[in-house]
Structures are given as C-alpha cells and as structure tokens.
Amino acid sequence: MSNPSLDVAGIQVSADHYINGQRVASSETFPLHSPIDQRLLGHVSEGLAEHVEQAIVAAQKAFPAWAALGAAGRKPYLDRFADEIGKRADELCQLESNDAGVLLSRMRNGVVPRAMLNIRWFAEHALELQNRTLETDQASHLVRHDPAGVVAIITPWNAPLMLSTWKLGPALASGNTCVLKPPEWAPLTCSLLADAAHAAGLPPGVFNVVQGSGANTGAKLVSDPRLARISFTGSVPTAKWIAQAAGANLVPCSLELGGKSPFVVLEDADIDSAAATGALMYRNAGQVCLAGTRFLVHQRIADRYVEALRAYVEKLNIGDPRDEATEVGPLIHPRQVERVAEYVDRAVAQGARLLWGGARHGFGAQYYQPTMLTDLRQSDEIVQNEVFGPVLTLQTFESDEQAVEMANGTDYGLGGVCYGEQTHAIAVAEQIRTGFIWVNSFGIRDLAAPFGGIKRSGIGREGGAWSFEFFCDVKDVVVPKKPFKASFSHR
C-alpha cells in the first residue's frame, strides 16, 4: 500500500520509492520540513534493506537490454526524458524551492534548463564513443566504451535536481542502469524526476530511486558488491566512509567533495567587478561547494575593496526563496544553522573581527546574516574548514608568492577565483592548486569541460569525456595489420 502523496504548493508528489517502474512504499517513514518556515511537508518512505535489494535486482535485470540498445538506441529515451523534465519545469522549481530553500529565480533561470541539458547533452555525445580507432604500425586498436553495469548515485541537498541529472546523464547514456539515493533533507525533486523518467518510457529498472538516510539506506547501497560504480557528491567524512565500503568490494568511486576555495584579488584588479562577483559567494546562503569563501586581497587595495564589497552585500535581498526578488534564502536545516553559528562564534572568541554579519537573521529561524570575518591566522579553524553557510573570511597579502602560498594553504582544492590584469591573473591562477579556477569571472561551466577537485576536495573528474571514462569499461580490441605468428621471444 502506498503512502499518501504529498501536497507541496499545490503540487502532488509521491512520497514513495520508485523501483522497477513502480512506486514502492515503506513501512517506515521520515519527516520532511521546509527550510523556509519549518512547516511539515509530509512523511517520506525510508529505504530499508528490502528496498535497496529490490532496486539493485531490478537494475541488474534491466541492464542487458538497456546496454544492448547502444548509444543511438538509448538517445530517443533520454531525449524524451529531457522533454518530460521540461514539461514539469514549474513543479520542479516550486518543489525544490520549498523542499531545499533554493531560490525560485535560480531554479527557473538556471537549474531546470541545466537539468534538461544534462540529459540531452550526454545522450548526444555518447554517440561519439562509437568506433574510435588508434592506428599503430603493428595493429588497429578498436577502443570501446562499454557500459559498466549497475551504478549507485548519491546526491547532496544543496542542488538535488541539478546534480542528480549531472550524474544520470552520462551514466544512462553510457548504457548503465542506476539506483539514485536522493538527499534525506531534500528528496522531492528526485521523486518527480522519477515521474519524468516513467512518462518518457524508460524501461522498468533502468532508473530507480530509493529515499532514506545516508546511515541507513546509503550504507546498504554502497556496501553492495553488485555495484559497478559509485558516484557521490557530498562531504569529506561521508566520502571516506563510502570509499571504505566500496574498497572492500573494489568498486570504483567518483567523489566530488567540499571546498574552501580562494578568491584572490590582485593589486591590479578591477575592484568594482571583483566586488560585484564577491557578493555572489553568498548565493544559496553560501551552500555552494565551489564558492570562493576565502578572500585574499592585496593589502594596498584591501580597504577600498572591503568598502566596495560591503556596498554590494548591503544591497542583497534576504528572504523567502519563492520571492523572485530574493537573493539569499535559508539554510537547509536547523542543524546547519547551529553549525554555521558555532563556527562564527568560535572564530570571534579566538580573536577574529567581524566586518559585517555574525548573527542569525530576523527573517526566520533558518536564516543567517551574510558574514565576513577578518584578522585571521592561516591556521584558524574557520580558514581551514568548510563552513557551508553565508560566511566568508578576508586576509591580506603583500606579494604574489604570498597569495599563492595562502591560497594553497588548506587541505582542500576544488575551485578558485582570481581577479587582476588578465595576463597577471592567469600567471597566478596557474600556480593555485585546484581542480579549476576562474579568472576575472565566476561560475562559467561547460558540460564538455572537466569538473572536480584535488586533495580532500575529491577523486576523479566529471563532465564530457571524463564522465564517460568513469561510467564505462574501456576496452581495447587489438587487430594486427600483418599475419600474426606466435613466438616465445620475450615481449
């Protein structure tokens, strides 16, 4: 018997799992509250061992036929999947805004179009994997990208729709079948995503959704030896635990983790442009892994830069994310609010100085003021650890060498930003150890480009050919150009 559908802003969304093309209820549920005003959205089915088992078995059974279709045969299904996402654009926007506190304007203008593109782009580019040949003097090497099997996808609560489709696109286009575990704190858009897949006619078992907590549902999923791949985006502690479970079964993992990215402002930077971009670091209430949260500013321009940045920050509209004018919304969960507040309080107690913010915001219980801290040491906790809230730090430097040393002075290496005269900024950016870095810009992405971090920010790359390399078993079929004669000579 199914659990009742949830009614969120007049949108009906299933509270149950989606397994083998059908909705499957659980005898256990967990409550779901909106970060906007803490109202109860409803109760969602909790994934038990039986549901993980059902999903994996369904994916296993569906795999041979889905893989046999080839990229050209899978493309019409995935194009229809993208179309069905588009048909549900308004519902997806409203759901994720209510469920995760994401700005409605950001959902409409960026996330939903990107979700459609994630599916459609990878379906198109999977066609390019066919018939690749490397020619040598001795042989023709026919390089195949074969689907790996059953893939587990685990996504975080700060961007559930975008990151789920970012992984599903290449996984499904490659010919794998998938089990998606959405975030416990924001599962609803993934549930509606299953409806879109069903309406698109994806065969039963190709795409499955099992909801639940990481400690319960996630643990059962990632420890299963029948998985061929695990793709995870989330925190470093959870990634270590997933890697241990996967390692026991030698299951390859792609791990996109946290960031503590530098935002470097060189002496020859356009101060106003760098300040306008700097204010963007507060978007999604700072719950963005790739944001530049450590501002490193040349000491000669630091005072002017702080005032320019302050002017932009003071103009930010903080409030209900469903309001099109809002630019900073709530934090996802009461626990996240406490975590952010405790980081700031400890930093101030240890000698940091507040330039602005530093307290909860009066709009609601899960809102925190955009905050900037300075007078910090490189070893300070708030400089070294990811806060994942609207909290930034500011330090100054005297030379490029010192800026690079400070930029590289954490255990993270996801992204970065560097503002300055272009040639100068490029030269500095090239020395900063990250998976990517934006020069005089922020947030420019292309699905063909690699995305991922180094050090504690992750393992592997997503995007373009890098996604296919992960989700495929790459095989070399070697065909000699001359008749082959066996020999016992040493190779």
Give the active site residues: 256, 289
What would the 3-class secondary structure string for the chain be?
A: CCCCCEEECCEEECCCEEECCEEECCCCEEEEECCCCCCEEEEEECCCHHHHHHHHHHHHHHHHHHHHCHHHHHHHHHHHHHHHHHHCHHHHHHHHHHHHCCCHHHHHHHHHHHHHHHHHHHHHHHHHHCCEEEECCCEEEEEEEEECCEEEEECCCCCHHHHHHHHHHHHHHCCCEEEEECCCCCCHHHHHHHHHHHHCCCCCCCEEECCCCHHHHHHHHHCCCCCCEEEEECCHHHHHHHHHHHHHCCCCEEEECCCCEEEEECCCCCHHHHHHHHHHHHHHHHCCCCCEEEEEEECCCHHHHHHHHHHHHHCCCECCCCCCCCCECCCCCHHHHHHHHHHHHHHHHCCCEEEECCCECCCCCCCECCEEEECCCCCCHHHHCCCCCCEEEEEEECCHHHHHHHHCCCCEECCCEEECCHHHHHHHHCCCCCCCCEECCCCCCCCCCCECCEECCEECCECHHHHHHHHEEEEEEEEECCCCCCCCCCC
Cβ-based neighbours of 484, under 8 Å, separated by 6 or more: none
Cβ-based neighbours of 458, under 8 Å, separated by 6 or more: 239, 255, 256, 257, 414, 435, 452
- Evaluate whether 175 touches 147 at the Cβ level (below 8 Å): yes
CA 31 to chain centre: 24
Q: How many CB atoms lie within 10 A of CB 70?
A: 14
